Amino acid sequence: MGARIRSFLAIELAPAARDAAVAAADALRARPGGEHVRWVRPENLHVTLHFLGSIHPDRVSVLADQVGRETASRETFSLHLGALRAFPSARRPRVVSIEIGPEPELVELAAAVSRGVVASGLPGAERPFRPHLTLGRLRDGRFPDASDLPDADADSAVTEVVLLESTLGRGGSSYTPLERIPLGGAITPNPA
């Protein structure tokens, strides 16, 4: 069967949206308290739709097929990056994030992905999907002051869901696309 792979389904950002998110993170990193955040590397910025955990490699094609069946009727849309915020809440901040929308489209896409995951024989999501883009994780629970920083204010076309493998390393995680699942279309295997 081979070694298990740590994986998740996500939306990747277009370059302009990624640049806007990086600029927002850099501005906050320079603030007092920014040094207490473990920042996500720019190449790793994404919107997680469904974390899978460790799966067998032989499940990848079945998973991609089932998720593709569920997302085949989903229309492409534009994701919008907004304000910096604490996640899950300002009272219990664990993550520095950027608000993303439109919420109805993102929630519906995450639900379709979750249905595909369950249809493939894997477990459904443990908690309800709450749209956000993680910029970093707080080490001490103190959120740097972002009150006067502008919104990221960028858009990114959402045309596919990507199944990513997460490999843990010394410098943090690195992500490798395993499958690209277009909205309203067929699966596009990632070239090896």
- The domain locations on the chain are 5-189
Query: Taking the model in full, what pTM does it have?
Result: 0.90
Tell me the one-letter amino acid at 109: L
Three-state SS for 138? strand
Q: What is the pLDDT of residues 118-169, one digit of tens each?
A: 999 999 888 899 999 999 999 887 888 888 899 999 999 999 999 999 998 8
Tell me the one-letter amino acid at 19: D
Q: Checking DSSP bridges between strand 95-101 and strand 133-138, what pairing results, if any?
A: antiparallel
Q: What is the pLDDT of residues 18-70, one digit of tens each?
A: 999 999 999 999 998 889 899 999 999 999 999 999 999 999 999 999 999 99
> Does the domain made of 5-189 have the CATH classification 3.10.20.30?
no
Contact 153, 91 (CB under 8 A): no
Q: Residue 78 burial (CB < 10 Å; 0-12/13-18/19+)?
A: middle
